[in-house]
Amino acid sequence: MSLKRITIALLALGALICGCKQEEELGVPKLTIDPTELSMEKGEASGNVEILATRDWYVANKPDWAALNVEKGAASTKPQTVTISVDANKGYNRTGEIKFSIGLAKAVLTIKQNGEKGELSLGSGTKDDPYTVAGVIAYTNSLGKDEESPNSIFFKGTVTSVVTTFEGSGTYGNATFYISDPDGGDAFYCFQTYYLGNRKWKSGDKEIKVDDEVIMCGKVVNYKGNTPETVGKGGSFVYSLNGNTGGGQTQTEITSTTVADFIAKADPNTYYRLTGKVSDFSTGTNSSGKNWMQFNLKDDTGSILVYGFKDGQYDQWASKIKNGGTAVLNGTYEYYDKKSQHEVMNTTIESFTEGGGQTSDTVTGTVTEVIATADGTSVVVPEGIVAALSSQGFIVTDGTSNVYVYLKAEPAVKIGDKIKLEASKTTYYGLPELTGPTATVISSGNGVPRTELKDVTAGIDSYDASVAEYVCVTGKLVKDGNYWNVEVPGASRKATPSSLHSSINPASLEGKEVTMTGYFNTIHSGKNLLQVVVTDIAEADPNAKHCNVSTNEIKVKAEDTGASFTISANADWTVSSDNQDVAVSPASGSADATVNLSFPANTSDAPRTANIKVVCAEAGVEAVIRFTQAKASSGEAVTLSVDFTKMMESLPQKKENALKDGTFDFEGYTFILHAADAYYQAESSGSFYLLIGKTNSYIQFPAIDGKSLVKVKFLTGANASTAVIEDIAKADGTRLNINNSSLNKATEYEWEVPGEPGAAYRIVVCNDKNAQFQNLILVYE
């Protein structure tokens, strides 16, 4: 072979080798950092950290006093070096966290820097030596889960973020905001706090804003064991605002008025003096160990519930107040929406004179008779039987009707006790209820005259009632956090104990088929739960006829040709389809089975649908499974990835610039925003997030011709409410019920969406909370 031919061959071989070079194999998603902590001196300093990320990475959060030479990088199996730099620290020692993310996986680098002022004092919690924010966080974390501090404490800080202004809370007159120490660090959540002088804010008062210096006073709580915050609904107040301590009304400035005028004024910001007769007096202890009392106050013009008392009032007056006596007190007005009632709050009792007995307008009768009276009526049941217990009250029955008696504490009575009951009748979410009770035990160990038991298993999704019916539900017992649910196959609604009594512990039945029996106590619409005051949770009778279907909905891709569901049964059943293209096999049986569906691939531009009906007459079951096969694919997927952690000029920044309605454009697509309260980009530790609230607020996604929305992903804010509920809805507001649970903060969620071609959808806020988004990713196919 000639030299020329050899040379050409070698060149060709080299080209072939180069052309076959493969891309780097990244393997499974992985994110690690080394080291996980950096310590720096008080002068200008820097340090390095090595990142091993097998997916594209980015910095999700960092303190504003730290800088990185790069904040994102490409996926690699090789370590990447990032340099962290800090300026000279002329303040106190500080600690912060840098959070790296590849989406689902995260890694945290702790950075510490000494300061010229040394360690910041934590304070002692007194008026003369308030806790710092670091101090109050440490103190609150020392409390038990959901435990409140026994006494009010003082603490101070700088406002770094305002969630709800005083004015924004409306008639509640409170504000919610975060405070931090002057040199940064973790923030503390001041929740529903009152204004200067421990009163509600009123028009003309100065508003709270970022950078205000505050000293707070009040009780704190270790909410859920992981969120230090103040006790809500005026459990704390701003003692000092930028050096101004403010006052409050003195006793001589308080105007006397009647109950009717007090209600007519409906003034939550001014204290008024009321005088009247006491009825329905009751006391108790809540789950946090805090004592409470309440009573109705009646004069010649009307009656009102006296509910919220200032610190020290319980200890001073609980043993002295008696029904029939005359009380002189002062307080502010509040309207409680959930129970549609007027209340006196922030109450101070000035004097009490004993009187005698019941008021003349008290209604005496059976349970059946008293639950038919108007709300606010004082009632007496001479004889009733305790039928069920919860951790917050009990059910009393006369054998014909049942009613829940709300105590706010675990009751002292027992099932089978015959009692005389004095209370006030009200309505709670459509159900009659008795509040402010005084129960006197006549005898114990009596049989309970149960009303007719109603099995609501088959119709749980549609069940509702206007009275506390005696019901049972059969299904699988599962644990959801601290709660127990009974899941019925094929149903979207679950049954759950309403404030489960301490005498019932179903832990040994977890994962088993059980029957939960008790008294209906409202539907929790937000979480789609049927709530029951439980009398018993027992393993289901294995000989009872049953037929449970594993799902009520089946969705498949256009190219799929088969699917299945399961039936758990010990009785004859049949299965049928109303679409001849969707065949079922087997079509009948009498025991557990897997039912297979067969169908051709969908090549049309419309989804294929069918109703699969399961009938089991012996078990009283008739279930329908909704089958949907996606339309044929319309081409390449479209992904929109919006990063709210960077300032977006098309969105308002800061609360003072907030909007209720608007749009923003992203990569040629238009998003529509509507807020019941306000929306804007807020800033925390140098990183932005989108805040939008409250009920019925939404971000409407763009509709793309020929494409269907199939997936929504988002990362909630680092300081987001852990009570907010969000869901996906159609453009007309119809919810898809993809989610009915509260979301966690700083958590990524991914939801599959059964989108229709060319249709617009939105993410909606479903309750009276603010939603926070760090990013939003939409996938259309």
Residue 597, pLDDT > 90, answer yes
Q: What is the pLDDT of residue 60?
A: 82
Residues contacting residue 515 through CB under 8 Å, at least 6 positions apart: 472, 473, 474, 536, 537, 538, 539, 540, 541
Write b or e for each residue in 653-691: b if 16 or more Cβ atoms lie within 10 A of its Cβ, otherwise e: eebeebeeebebebeebebbbbbebbbbbbbbbebbbbb
- Residue 545: pLDDT band by 50, 70, 90 thresholds? confident
User: Could you identify the residue written with the tokens 């129960």?
Assistant: 439
**Which residues on adjacent β-strands are paired with residue 388?**
395
Residue 358, pLDDT > 60, answer no
Distance in angstroms (rounded) separating the CA atoms of residues 40 and 334: 52
Please state, in angstroms and as integers, the Cα–Cα distance from residue 39 to each residue in 48, 86, 479, following that order.
11, 11, 42
- Residue 12: pLDDT band by 50, 70, 90 thresholds? very low
Average model confidence (pLDDT) across the chain: 86
Q: What order do you get walking across the sheet with 588-589 strand by strand?
A: 553-556, 621-629, 608-616, 573-577, 588-589
Region 710-728: what's the mean pLDDT? 88
Residues contacting residue 518 through CB under 8 Å, at least 6 positions apart: 388, 470, 471, 472, 497, 532, 533, 534, 535, 536
Q: Is 680:652 a contact under the CB 8 Å cutoff?
A: yes
Q: Number of H helices and number of E strands within the chain? A: 5, 53
460: number of Cβ within 10 Å = 22
In 3D space, the residue among 655, 669, 622, 653 whose CA is nearest the CA of residue 776 turns out to be 669
Q: What is the pLDDT of residue 338?
A: 61
Give the H/E segment covering residue 259.
helix 259-265
Portions of the chain given CATH number 2.40.50.140: 133-241, 256-265+273-353, 363-443
Q: Is 378:361 a contact under the CB 8 Å cutoff?
A: yes
pLDDT, one tens digit per residue, over 432-456 is 999 888 899 999 999 999 999 998 8
Region 304-312: what's the mean pLDDT? 85
Distance in angstroms (rounded) separating the CA atoms of residues 346 and 268: 10
Region 723-740: what's the mean pLDDT? 84
Residues contacting residue 170 through CB under 8 Å, at least 6 positions apart: none
In this structure, which topology does domain 638-780 adopt according to CATH? Answer: Jelly Rolls (2.60.120)
Region 325-336: what's the mean pLDDT? 86
Question: How much of the chain exceeds pLDDT 70, in percent?
Answer: 93
Please state, in angstroms and as integers, the Cα–Cα distance from residue 198 to each residue in 136, 155, 191, 270, following that order.
20, 15, 14, 11
Distance in angstroms (rounded) separating the CA atoms of residues 681 and 23: 40
Tokens of 737: 């019920």
Q: What is the pLDDT of residue 102?
A: 87
pLDDT, one tens digit per residue, over 402-438 is 999 998 788 999 999 999 999 888 888 778 999 888 8
Q: What is the pLDDT of residue 23?
A: 52
Q: What is the pLDDT of residue 706?
A: 72
**Backbone dihedral region for residue 246 (phi beyond 0: left; psi -120 to 50: alpha; all else: beta):** left
Q: What is the pLDDT of residue 428?
A: 82
Ordered DSSP codes for 129-172: S-B-HHHHHHHHHTSPTTPBPSS-EEEEEEEEEEEE-TGGGGGG
Q: What is the pLDDT of residue 525?
A: 66
* Domain 547-629 falls under CATH 3.30.420.10: no
- Residue 356: pLDDT band by 50, 70, 90 thresholds? low
Residue 250, pLDDT > 90, answer no
Portions of the chain given CATH number 2.40.50.200: 454-539
Q: What is the pLDDT of residue 22?
A: 47
Check residues 271 and 398 and name the one with the higher pLDDT. 398
* Domain 133-241 falls under CATH 3.40.50.2300: no
Radius of gyration (C-alpha) of the chain in whole angstroms: 31
Ranges 140-144, 559-563, 626-630, 698-702, most confident = 698-702
Q: Is 547:619 a contact under the CB 8 Å cutoff?
A: yes
Instruction: Name residue 426's amino acid.
Output: T
Tokens of 736: 């898809």
Residue 575, pLDDT > 80, answer yes
Residues contacting residue 513 through CB under 8 Å, at least 6 positions apart: 474, 475, 476, 477, 539, 540
- Residue 308: pLDDT band by 50, 70, 90 thresholds? confident
Write b or e for each residue in 266-299: b if 16 or more Cβ atoms lie within 10 A of its Cβ, otherwise e: ebbbebbbbbbbbbbbbbbeeebebebbbbbbbb
- Residue 360: pLDDT band by 50, 70, 90 thresholds? very low
Q: Would you give the end-to-end CA distance of the chain in angstroms?
A: 57
User: Could you identify the residue written with the tokens 């039912």?
Assistant: 595
Q: What is the pLDDT of residue 676?
A: 82
3-class DSSP string for 175-238: EEEEEEECCEEEEEEEEEEEECCCECCCCCCCCCCCCCEEEEEECEEEECCCEEEECCCCCEEE
Please state, in angstroms and as integers, the Cα–Cα distance from residue 371 to each residue in 112, 288, 379, 411, 561, following that order.
63, 30, 9, 21, 57
In 3D space, the residue among 71, 124, 61, 52 whose CA is nearest the CA of residue 96 turns out to be 61
Half-sphere exposure of 389 (CA within 13 A, CB side): 14
In this structure, of 208-217, 239-248, 261-270, the range with the lowest mean pLDDT score is 239-248
Half-sphere exposure of 757 (CA within 13 A, CB side): 12
3-state class of 275 per DSSP? strand
Write the CATH number of the domain with boundaries 363-443: 2.40.50.140
In this structure, which topology does domain 31-113 adopt according to CATH? Answer: Immunoglobulin-like (2.60.40)
Q: What is the pLDDT of residue 526?
A: 62
Check residues 584 and 122 and name the one with the higher pLDDT. 584
Which of the 8 DSSP states describes residue 15? H
Q: What is the pLDDT of residue 253?
A: 54
Distance in angstroms (rounded) separating the CA atoms of residues 663 and 672: 4
* Domain 454-539 falls under CATH 2.60.40.10: no
pLDDT, one tens digit per residue, over 180-231 is 987 667 889 999 998 887 888 888 788 999 989 999 998 899 888 888 999 8
Instruction: Name residue 93's amino acid.
Output: N
Q: Identify the CATH class of 256-265+273-353.
A: mainly beta
Residues contacting residue 21 through CB under 8 Å, at least 6 positions apart: none
Region 265-283: what's the mean pLDDT? 85
- Residue 104: pLDDT band by 50, 70, 90 thresholds? low
3-state class of 317 per DSSP? helix
3-state class of 3 per DSSP? helix
Q: What is the pLDDT of residue 340?
A: 67
Question: How distant is the alpha carbon of residue 555 from its chain centre?
Answer: 29
pLDDT, one tens digit per residue, over 58-102 is 988 888 788 999 999 999 989 999 999 998 888 778 888 898 988
In 3D space, the residue among 203, 198, 200 whose CA is nearest the CA of residue 216 turns out to be 198
Residue 141, pLDDT > 50, answer yes
Q: What is the pLDDT of residue 15?
A: 45
Portions of the chain given CATH number 2.60.40.10: 31-113, 547-629
Residue 616, pLDDT > 50, answer yes
pLDDT, one tens digit per residue, over 465-488 is 889 999 999 989 999 888 899 998
Portions of the chain given CATH number 2.60.120.260: 638-780
In 3D space, the residue among 238, 227, 153 whose CA is nearest the CA of residue 193 turns out to be 238
In this structure, of 93-97, 252-256, 441-445, 618-622, the range with the lowest mean pLDDT score is 252-256
Residue 669, pLDDT > 50, answer yes
